[in-house]
Each structure stands twice: as structure tokens, then as C-alpha cells.
Amino acid sequence: MERILSMEDIRFTYTPEETDKPYAVDGVSLDMHQGEWIAVVGHNGSGKSTLARLMIGLLFPQEGTVSLFGDALTEENLWDKRSQMGMVFQNPDNQFVGATVQDDVAFALENNGIPFEEMTVRVREALAQVKMERFLDHEPQHLSGGQKQRVAIAGALALRPRLLILDEATSMLDPQGREEVIRVILELREKTGLSVISITHDLEEALLADRIIVMNRGRKFAEGTPPEVFARGEELTSLGLDLPFAARMTGLLRERGLELEETMSERKLVESLWTSRSNG
Amino acid sequence: MMEKMVFGRYIPGDSFVHRLDPRTKLIFVFIFIAAVFLANSTASYALLLGFTLFAIIVSKVRIGFLIGGLKPVIFLIAFTFLLHIFFTKQGDLLFEFGFIKVYEEGLRQGIYISVRFLVLVLMTSLLTLTTSPISITDGLEVLLGPLKKIRFPVHELALMMSISLRFIPTLMDETDKILKAQLARGSDISSGTMKERVKAVVPLLVPLFVSAFKRAEDLAVAMEVRGYRGGEGRTRYRQLKWDWRDTTALLILLLLIAGLWLLRR
Amino acid sequence: MDITLQRVGYTYAAGTPFQKQALHDVDVRIPDGSYTAVIGHTGSGKSTLLQHLNALLKPTEGTVRVGDTVITKETKGKQLRSVRRKVGIVFQFPEHQLFEETVLKDVMFGPLNFGIPEAEAAARAEELLGLLGLPEGTAEKSPFDLSGGQMRRVAIAGVLAMDPDVLVLDEPTAGLDPSGRREIMDLFHRLHEERDMTTILVTHSMEDAARYADHVIVMHDGTDVLEGPPEDVFGDAGRLARWRLEVPRTVAFQREFERGAGLPEGPPCLTEEQLADYLAGAVKKGGGAR
Ligand SMILES: Nc1ncnc2c1ncn2[C@@H]1O[C@H](COP(=O)(O)OP(=O)(O)OP(=O)(O)O)[C@@H](O)[C@H]1O
Ligand SMILES: Nc1ncnc2c1ncn2[C@@H]1O[C@H](COP(=O)(O)OP(=O)(O)OP(=O)(O)O)[C@@H](O)[C@H]1O
Ligand SMILES: [Mg+2]
Ligand SMILES: [Mg+2]
């Protein structure tokens, strides 16, 4: 499998002159393969956004190297690499550049000098992927948060990127908007095999990923598949994280004397409750 | 509070005026502004007024709405009108009321100036009411295009304008929110001495600036991530098209100018 | 202090082409001392409703009664201020309202506006900063040097410092990490219990509404469609779905369990502890013997 992103021993601080301050990202290494979905979780200020900014060359690390699609990221190849990635941020209002939906989606295409005829095709295609094709001429103030975020995703997709980075793209949305956005991303992955890095505080969202990275005070605290990571239970809660609902319930039920296996999945939990009831 | 403001707002529609190319509308309004100064007789002012009404009707913008929203400007017009009446002392004395003397020429000048003012305001409002801000910017960018040759940053300016326009509603919302938050904390802007009122604005302005900067920063990052690095090598998604409507509109403008010229004193 | 709304309607930008009716025929009563949750899908009018509770918006129709103050569209300035003093609002992303040079001054802003003497205001502010778990020395810092979560706490302290009888919260935990969210929700709950503060929470989280509230108001398309204790509101998934709402996760899980175990639908479990008790009980009783 092709390696799409790798970071080696990255260190970064916003204040290099103040030596007593801790690094915002401190010694993080990371490898990502084509088609993977990685979720990054961690408390406020743990360095998640900084990490994302390092990935897309908005920041350059003081130590360590970032490689994208096989090459080290440099000032020279920055724009070329960026044209193969998309990034969506937290605040739906602050990333809507165009005056209408279609202008916004076209923005990255314009910047990359795509000819007009091609642009019209790609704008429609990208909007169809996020199910917003009926909103071509809508202005941002007439869209819901979830719709704006889907437009932002379309704006990233128009360039047909290989890697999509979402920095808390769902955190300012209501449950419905959040679900819309997550559904769109799940579908995209299924259809196009897009690689996704999603930074999130929503653990149920993190459960959907192939791999979870837990950040704590700038360092990588844990890494692994969702069951591997959440098996660390208490350790995570002490970092200000939470456990998924099923894991919390399992814990509470064990305290009440039920014998249950650890699980992240509500499906599995309810099934084992059914069995223990009928055997009980 | 700001909800009633009409100036600078856009109301979508598909009238003849709405569908004109923004370049046509811009040229039209610019020439119209100049042409207004051709008028110098009652007949020519009547023509201007009639023409403006005609334009409003064609644009299908509700007249009541236009007038309602122009209240602040109408006050200004009334003020200039009165100024002229009181300070022009030529022609026949029409009537006298205590120290107030109204002369024929004063009345005439007052009316002329008011009409001129009114038509200008109505026509420019009509431009913004029927043209989305982004189209206006597009139109300007193309019209000013030749200035690029002398290194005038036309593209950057146009982008700046379109982004500011895009953020006006957002910032108005934000102002409203912050105002309410501070009101809820007992701040009081609408009463007190002048000094107290000025002080009461600080809790509003500081958060507003902070948030505007934050937004600007976020936006800059979002633009950079999407590959924005200035106008060079960019293509345009918005294509402007000239059609029969535009030619018609400009012909009508020529007729208006000819009419004004003929009706001059 | 009861709050009652009678046939309340509100239209934004009335009389312009942009006019928008956000509320109509709202009749609700928020009992004194209750913890009331207001739920509803996005755009259903929750925030608009909430701004009526301390007279930031005056109803364009109907009357709002806060204690013994009556607010209609004609009510003027002075009375509104007295309502604002009694009802504190924590808006969504309240950290956006910070402006002073120091945290202490910012927290004192509200009390000073309402004529509390400086010394008392400062004392209150200090106490609240401690209560909200802000580290020692925060008071003298600039609010803009704090982390997002800390700014949020300072802003909340600024509202609590007015010592309101009623505390209104519009999604107070949006954007916080899970532990920050829990701490702040627990704090509001504690204030409600200890100081007997009437609390009104607008939230998208059915779990929070179920866990903390004793009274729930459901908004849908600008009007109240249901009002009652959480046990009633959250029992019926089908009904909530009509208003584009879901039952809390605990209830969803409970129903799924009951379905598969062939049990009738019991009273909804509103917290995870309740659910665990219920499940443990049901499993231990067992179905195997049947
Ligand atoms: N522009 C900046 N200048 C200086 N310090 C910064 C800047 N941005 C972030 N930091 C600091 O770097 C650290 C990591 O911040 P970062 O934004 O990466 O955290 P995060 O995990 O994304 O947090 P959140 O969950 O709140 O978004 C924090 O201590 C923060 O205060
Ligand atoms: N300042 C305003 N001007 C015009 N319309 C508004 C304004 N504020 C809200 N509205 C409209 O009023 C309706 C109710 O909005 P409100 O903000 O009260 O909903 P909400 O239930 O709080 O939604 P959310 O869950 O998204 O916060 C919506 O249709 C909204 O678009
Ligand atoms: Mg972040
Ligand atoms: Mg709201």
C-alpha cells in the first residue's frame, strides 16, 4: 500500500524564543496509507490543530520532517502537494470564500488555473458528491451549518484530492448537521477510497475510523484501532477524554455484577445482554 | 435595528434589470450620474424623475419598500430643500411668514436639487438592489481590467471587496449578538451622558474587533489551503455575457441623454 | 419567580421583504426553581424564545411575564433592565463577549452595571473564578491570553456574578472537550441545587436534557409542541421523530434491549446509571426460566 503521509519525530512550538514553554507538538511520528481513515482525539490544547497545520504546510516543524505522497514537504513543492489535499475547518462561517455555493466550490479550481469548461463540470460533480447540487446559487447566510460544511467539503473535493483533513468540522453543528456531514464522508470513502484524517471531540465519530491517535499535551499518547485504544479505559478518562457509550455502559454493568466482555459496539453489548438474560 | 436598511442590499429577482450584465448596469449608472447634471429645466427634471420611476417599475422592486428604506436619506433631501428655500433670495417673493421669506427661485432650486438628489439615490440603490454584490465586483474587475497594465491591483481589490461584502451579513449578526450579550450584562448604550455612551461602546467594539480578526485569520488560512496565492495564473469561474438586453439598456440611456439635452434651457 | 409566556409571537425584520416569523402562539410556563430544558431541531426558535426571557427581544405578539414584570411590545427601557438583572443569559460561545483588560474587570462588568459596590463586585468575582476552577492568578491576566475553555469559564463567571435568580443557558458547552463539557454541566447542576437557581438550558443534546432537567419544553417550527417532565417527553421515540428529534442514547439502547428481550417498554431511563440498574435488574431476573 502506498504511503500517503508520514511524519517523523516532529517538534513544533509557536514561541521558539521562549524556551521554558512546552512544545505544541512534541516528538510525534505518524504513517498513513492510501485509503485509511485516522481519527485524532485529545483534550483542548493538546496540539491536534497544530498537527493538522503541519501536515498541510501551513506551519513547518522546527525538528523532523513531513512527507506527503512519498516526498518531503518543502517550500518548493508546497503548492503542488496542497493541490492534492483538502482541509475543512471548524467554523462554517469563516471558510466560505465565495459569494454563493458554486463560487465557493470553484475557488480552489480557479486558484489552480483549471479552465472554465472543466470547472463547471467539477463544481457540479463535487456538489453532487455532498448532495448539495440543488443549492448552486444559494448564499452562505441562507444555509444551515451542516450545509455550509458540506459545501466546504465539496470545495475540497473539487480538486480531487487524495487526502482530506477535517479539523473539528462537525463540532459547531447540531446533531442533524453532524450526521449529514459524517454520512457524506462515509459514502465518499466507500466510493472513492479517499484517505481521511478527522480531528474530533466526538468519540462515536472516532469509532468509525480505522485508527485512532490520542494526543495529550503535544505528545502522541496512544495509537491503534478503536478497540485497542478504548481498552485503555481509565487512562483515557484521566486525560479528559471520554469513552464511547457502549464502553461506559459495559463498565457500569460490570460494577453491578454482570459478566460482560469489553466492547465498543452497542450492537455487541445489547446482543450479549440478550444472551445473558435468556441464559440467566 | 439594521434590518430596515435598504442601501447596499440585494433582493434577488429575474426582472429585465436583474438580468442585465453587471458591466452594463455599472456603466449605465455612471453615465446616468453624469447625465443628471445636464438637467437644468423643469421639463428635464421631470424627464429624469419619470425615467427613474420607469426604471423602478421595470426592475419590479416594490416602490413602498424603496421609499420606506430611504427614510434617512429623505431627511437629508428635505434638509437641503429647506436650506435652498431659506438662503436663495432671488425672483418673486412667493410668501412671507414672520422672518421666513420664500422666493420663487429658492423654491425652484430647492425642488431641482431635491429631485437630483433623489434620482441619484434611487438609481444607485436600484443598482445594488438588483445586482448581487459579487456581480458588481465582477463587473468592476472586468471594467477596471485595463488598469492592470499600470500595475494597479485590480484583482486583489475586487477580491477584497467581494470578501468584505460576503462578510457584511455575518458581521452584522455578530454585532447584534455581542450587543445583546452586553445588554444582558446590564450595559446601556441608549441612555446616559455623552461620555457614558462613548464608554458603553467599548464592550461592543473590542469583541467585534477580536472576532473580525479571528475571522480574517481563519479565512486567510482557508484560502491558502485551497491554493490561493494572488491573481496570477488564476482562471475565472464567473463569465460575463453581453446580450440584447444590455444593448437595449444602453440605447435607452442614449435616448435619455438626447432628451435631457433637448429639454435644456 | 415563575416565567410565563402567553400567546407569544415574534417576527424578525417585520415589514421588510426579509421578514421572518420565528415564533408564534407560544404558551409555556417555567416554574420557579425548576431546571427546564428547551429542545428542538435547528431553526425551531429556541434562541429566539430564550431572548424573550430577559427582554432582549420584546414579543411582537402576546405577553411575557417574568415574576411580576409584564413585558409586551410596548414595554419601555427601565423595566427591561430590572428583568435583565434577575435573569442572566449565557449565550452560545460566550467567550466572544469578553473585552476588558483583566479577567477580574470583565467578571465585574455586569455587577457594576447593575450598581453593585465595587468591593462587593470584586469579592464575588474572585469567589466565582475559584468556583469555576480557574487557576490562581487568572484574575489579573488578560482574558485574551487564556485557552478557549478558560475563556468560556470566565464568561460564565461574568454572568453568574450578577447573582441572577434565573440562569438561562444557550448551548453552553459547544466546542469543549468531553471533560470540560461534563465539568461545566455539573457546575450548573450544582448551582441549581445549592442556590436554588431556576435554570433554563437550550440544548441539542437529548442526553443532557434527560440527565439534568426536571421540565422539558419541545419547540417545533416556531411554537411549543410539548411540555412536561422528561419521563413523559423522552418515552416515545415515534413522537419525537415527528419533530425531527431523537430519544437520548440511553432510551434508544433501552428500547433496543426491550425489543430483543421481548419485554414491554418500561419507563425511560434518563441517565446511564438508571439504565445500568434497569438492565442489570432485567438480566438478573432472566428470561431463561420462562
Ligand atoms: N497561533 C498560536 N499562537 C500561539 N500558541 C498557539 C497558537 N495556536 C495554538 N497555540 C497553542 O498550542 C497548543 C496546541 O494548540 P492546538 O490548537 O493545536 O490544540 P487543539 O488540540 O487543536 O485544541 P482544541 O481542541 O481546543 O482545538 C495550545 O497550548 C495552544 O495554546
Ligand atoms: N436576526 C434574525 N433575523 C432574521 N431571522 C432570524 C434571526 N435570527 C433567527 N432567525 C430565524 O428565526 C428562526 C428561529 O431561529 P432560532 O435562532 O431561534 O432557532 P434555534 O432553534 O435557536 O436554532 P439553532 O438550534 O440552530 O440554534 C430561524 O428560521 C432563523 O432563521
Ligand atoms: Mg483545534
Ligand atoms: Mg439557537
- Read off the pLDDT of residues C62-97 as tens digits, 9 standing for 90 and up: 999 998 899 999 888 777 888 999 999 999 999 999
> Quick check: is A237 in a domain?
no
CB contact under 8 A, C113 and B65: no
Residue B218 has its nearest CB partner, among A86, A89, A106, at: A89
Q: Please name every residue paired with A40 in a beta bridge, in sequence order, or none if there are none.
A: A199, A213
d(CA A89, CA C22): 29
Residue B184 has its nearest CB partner, among C13, C18, C88, at: C88
The answer to whether residue C89 neighbours chain B at the CB level (below 8 Å) is yes
Q: Same structural domain for residues A226 and A251?
A: no
Q: What is the per-residue pLDDT for A231?
A: 86
Q: Same structural domain for residues A215 and A250?
A: no
* A48 within ligand 1 shell (Cβ under 6 A): yes
Taking CA atoms, B23 is separated from A110, B19, B128, B143, B240, in Å, by 21, 11, 13, 7, 8
Q: What is the per-residue pLDDT for C287?
A: 58
Residue whose CA is closest, atom 28 of ligand 2? Answer: C43
Domains in chain C, CATH or no CATH each: 3-247 (3.40.50.300), 248-290 (no CATH)
Residue C56 has its nearest CB partner, among B178, B184, B211, at: B184
Residue C107: name the closest of C126, C125, C93, C120 by CA.
C125
Three cell numbers written together for B144: 477596471
How far is the centre of ligand 1, averaged over its atoms, from the C-alpha of B199 (Å)?
33
Strand locations in A77-218 (E): 85-88, 163-167, 195-199, 211-216
Per-residue pLDDT of C132-148, as tens digits, reads 989 988 999 999 999 88
Q: What is the per-residue pLDDT for B2?
A: 44
CA angle A270, A273, A275 (to 5 degrees): 115
* C147 within ligand 2 shell (Cβ under 6 A): no
Q: Phi and psi (nearest 5°) for A257? A: 85, 10
Tell me how crowded residue C18 is: count the other CB atoms within 10 A of its CB. Answer: 12
How far is the centre of ligand 1, averaged over its atoms, from the C-alpha of A51 (Å)?
10
Give contacts of A145 with chain C, Cβ < 8 Å.
Answer: 42
Q: Same structural domain for residues A85 and A188?
A: yes
Q: Same structural domain for residues A253 and A122?
A: no
Note the helical H segments in C26-147.
46-52, 77-86, 103-113, 118-131
Residue A101: CATH number of its domain = 3.40.50.300
Q: Same structural domain for residues A35 and A171?
A: yes
CB contact under 8 A, C286 and A277: yes
DSSP string, B122-156: HHHHHHHHHS-HHHHHHHHHHHTGGGGGGT--HHH
Shortest CA distance from C144: residue in chain B: B210
Q: Phi and psi (nearest 5°) for A46? A: -80, -5
Residue C243: name the closest of C204, C194, C287, C191 by CA.
C204
Residue C128 has pLDDT above 60, yes or no: yes
For residue B35, give every residue at least 6 positions away whose Cβ sits within 8 Å of its Cβ, in sequence order, or none: B253, B256, B257, B260
Residue A116 has its nearest CB partner, among B223, B226, B239, at: B239
> Quick check: is A264 in a domain?
yes
- 8 A C-beta contact, residue C154 and residue C107: yes
List the domain range (segments joined by +) for residue A105: 3-232
> Quick check: is A239 in a domain?
no
Residue whose CA is closest, atom 2 of ligand 1? Answer: A14
- Quote the DSSP letter at residue A215: E
Q: What is the per-residue pLDDT for B145?
A: 85
Q: What is the per-residue pLDDT for A280?
A: 63
Q: How many domains does chain A have?
A: 2
| Interface chains of chain B (3 or more CB pairs under 8 Å) | A, C
Residue A110 has its nearest CB partner, among B162, B173, B237, at: B237
Q: Same structural domain for residues A135 and A264?
A: no
Three cell numbers written together for B242: 453581453
> Quick check: is A194 in a domain?
yes
d(CA A23, CA A240): 19
> Quick check: is A160 in a domain?
yes
Best of B156, B213, B235, B240 to disrupt the A interface by mutation (most A CBs within 10 Å)? B235
Q: Phi and psi (nearest 5°) for A223? A: -155, 140
Tell me how crowded residue B163 is: count the other CB atoms within 10 A of its CB. Answer: 16
| Interface chains of chain A (3 or more CB pairs under 8 Å) | B, C
Q: What is the per-residue pLDDT for B8?
A: 61
Span A251-279, mean pLDDT? 90
Overall pTM > 0.90: no
Residue corresponding to grid cell 431553526: C43
Sheet containing strand C166-170, strands side by side = C87-90, C166-170, C198-202, C35-39, C215-220, C223-228
Three cell numbers written together for C204: 441539542
How close, in Å, is residue A144 to chain B by CA atoms?
13
SS3 A94: helix
> Quick check: is A62 in a domain?
yes
Q: Same structural domain for residues A20 and A43?
A: yes
How close, in Å, is residue B127 to chain A by CA atoms?
18
Q: Same structural domain for residues A223 and A256?
A: no
Atom index in ligand 1 nearest the CA of residue A42 equals: 21
The answer to whether residue C109 neighbours chain B at the CB level (below 8 Å) is yes
- 8 A C-beta contact, residue C230 and residue C205: no
Per-residue pLDDT of B1-57, as tens digits, reads 344 455 567 787 888 998 899 999 999 999 999 999 888 888 999 999 999 999 999
Ranges under pLDDT 70 in chain B: 1-8, 69
Residue A44: name the closest of C156, C146, C61, C55 by CA.
C146
Cα C56 from chain centroid (whole Å): 16
Q: Same structural domain for residues A63 and A172?
A: yes
**ipTM score assigned to the predicted complex:** 0.90
Three cell numbers written together for B159: 477580491
Q: Same structural domain for residues A264 and A127?
A: no
Q: What is the per-residue pLDDT for B5?
A: 54
Per-residue pLDDT of C22-55, as tens digits, reads 999 999 999 999 999 999 998 899 999 999 998 9
SS3 C259: helix
Q: What is the per-residue pLDDT for C290?
A: 42
CB contact under 8 A, C260 and A270: yes
d(CA C206, CA C268): 13
Three cell numbers written together for A271: 446482543
How close, in Å, is residue A204 to chain C by CA atoms?
12
* Local confidence band at C246 (pLDDT 50, 70, 90 cut-offs): very high
Give contacts of C254 with chain A, Cβ < 8 Å.
Answer: none
The answer to whether residue C125 neighbours chain B at the CB level (below 8 Å) is no
Sheet containing strand C61-66, strands side by side = C20-30, C3-12, C61-66, C69-71
Residue whose CA is closest, atom 7 of ligand 2? Answer: C12
CB contact under 8 A, C276 and A256: yes
Mean pLDDT taken over chain A: 91
Q: Same structural domain for residues A76 and A132?
A: yes
Residue A55 has pLDDT above 70, yes or no: yes
For residue C134, give every residue at least 6 positions away whose Cβ sits within 8 Å of its Cβ, in sequence order, or none: C103, C150, C153, C154, C157
Q: Please name every residue paired with A164 in a beta bridge, in sequence order, or none if there are none.
A: A86, A196
How close, in Å, is residue C59 to chain B by CA atoms?
15
- 8 A C-beta contact, residue B158 and residue B137: yes
Residue B132: name the closest of B33, B19, B234, B253 by CA.
B19
**What is the torsion angle, in degrees rounded to the nearest 10, for the CA atoms of residue A158, residue A159, residue A165 and residue A171?**
-20
> Quick check: is A228 in a domain?
yes
Per-residue exposure over B215-239, b if at least 16 CB sit within 10 Å of its own CB, e if not: beebbebbbbbbbbeebeebeebbe
The answer to whether residue A176 neighbours chain C at the CB level (below 8 Å) is yes
* A53 within ligand 1 shell (Cβ under 6 A): no
Per-residue pLDDT of C180-197, as tens digits, reads 899 999 999 999 999 899
d(CA A58, CA A45): 18
Mean pLDDT taken over chain C: 92
CB contact under 8 A, A174 and C287: no
- 8 A C-beta contact, residue A138 and residue A100: yes
